[in-house]
Amino acid sequence: MRLLVFGATGATGRQLVSQALEQDHEVTAFVRRPEALVPRQGLRVVRGDTRDRASVEAAVAGHDAALSALGIGMSLMPGTLIADSMRNIVPALERAGVRRFVLMSAFGVGATRNDAPPLLRLMYGTLLAGIFADKRDGEDIVRASALDWTIVYPVVLTGGPLSARYRAGERLELTGLPTIARADVAHFMLAEAAEGRYVRKSVVIAT
Q: What residues contact 30, with CB distance under 8 A and at least 6 apart?
A: 4, 5, 6, 8, 46, 48, 50, 56, 59
In 95-177, at which residue ranges do the beta strands (DSSP E only) sit?
A: 100-104, 148-154, 156-158, 167-169
pLDDT in tens, the chain (207 residues): 999 999 999 999 999 999 999 999 999 999 999 999 999 999 999 999 999 999 999 999 999 999 999 998 766 676 899 999 999 999 999 999 999 999 999 999 988 988 888 878 787 877 788 999 999 999 999 999 999 999 999 999 999 999 999 999 999 999 888 999 999 999 999 999 999 999 999 999 999
- Cross-strand partners of 102: 67, 150
Residue by residue, DSSP assigns 96-142 as HT--EEEEE--TTSGGGGGGS-HHHHHHHHTTTHHHHHHHHHHHHHH
Q: What is the CATH number of domain 2-206?
A: 3.40.50.720
- pTM, whole model, 2 decimals? 0.95
Ordered by start, the domain boundaries in the chain are 2-206
Instruction: Report angle CA 157, 167, 71 to the nearest 5 degrees.
Output: 30
